[in-house]
Amino acid sequence: MARADTGDLDSGRREIRLVKEKDGRWSAIDEGEEVASQGETRSEALANLDEAVALHRGEIGEPVTDADLRDLGIDPDTVPAEPQEPDAPWFSE
């Protein structure tokens, strides 16, 4: 596991954790944002994480509409209005 300690969010710095998974892929976890992504390489995992954090912060992308959810086969009434704690083991380590 690699760890890049880059400080706190107030300073504009981020702490990123890189984990090599059993299947050889890499997970990149932004501890402060509680966002994770993965990739075939460390570079790909970090690039995917940057995109995931930007989406999480609303800096890129468009809001998901009820029509979008229906297109994906998801009933909009089953989606909580507020974000939920992720069921992801790397956030509870």
| Dist CA 28 CA 36 (whole Å) | 6
Half-sphere exposure of 63 (CA within 13 A, CB side): 3
Give the pLDDT confidence score for residue 72 in this predicted structure. Answer: 96
Fold of 2-83: Double Stranded RNA Binding Domain (3.30.160)
Higher pLDDT, 35 or 85: 35
pLDDT tens-digit profile of 8-60? 445 678 899 999 999 999 999 999 999 999 999 999 999 999 999 999 998 99
Say if residues 7 and 26 touch (Cβ distance below 8 Å): no
Band (5; pLDDT cuts 50, 70, 90): very low
Higher pLDDT, 76 or 12: 76
6 has pLDDT over 90: no
Q: List residues bridging with 39 in a β-sheet.
A: 26
Give the pLDDT confidence score for residue 13 in this predicted structure. Answer: 83
